[in-house]
Amino acid sequence: MNLAIFASGNGSNFTAIVKAVRGGMIKAGRLILVCDNPRAFVLKRAQKAGIPIVLVSRRDFSCRRDFERAITQRLVYYKIDLVVLAGFMRMLSPAFVREYRSRILNIHPSLLPDFKGAHAIKDAFEKKVAFTGVTVHFVDSEMDHGPVILQEKIAIRKKESLACLEKRIHNLEHRLYPQVVKLFCEGKMRKQK
């Protein structure tokens, strides 16, 4: 099973998955990084790990279709079976999602459908909800939507800082996402209908 991890920023989930592959937890043949941000720290992580990088900046293309076509060409070249979104800050088009239907995973730092969007941890913290958590799901054409694969909740502690909550959420992500990718690679996951 060949994996493409899509990331736009720091890349801590990228690193968690790479460690799981290198440690033998996830049985993967090939692993690549797809990044749309030439300044993303994840690029340094990939270089250090010796992972091939596909850097495709949206600014280099006149439309999203051409941008995604360039990505798809690289996915075909590397014979990618599974797309793993790990902080990729772009919506994929319905056409891209259809092409990779049941083969695109995403992780989100809330208990979806609550707190969609880029600031989910902060939104949950400021709303003062009792619980938040992490969701891993199949991707469809809506933002932070699609069949849920795994969710785990954590209590927001009294007097907990936002930074502390963020750290606990990220630690939970780093544990859950490799588990789901492992299940997919072993053919043990029910695909979306």
Q: Which residues are catalytic?
A: 108
Query: In the block, which residue shows the tokens 């051409």?
Result: 66
Token digits of residue 11: 């890349």
Give the C-alpha separation, 78 to 134, whole Å: 30
Residue 92: which of 146, 149, 19 has the closest Cα? 146
SS3 assignment, position 154: strand
Token digits of residue 187: 């053919």
Give the C-alpha separation, 54 to 156, whole Å: 37
Q: What is the DSSP string of 47-107?
A: HHHT--EEE--GGGSSSHHHHHHHHHHHHHHTT--EEEESS--SPPPHHHHHHTTT-EEEE
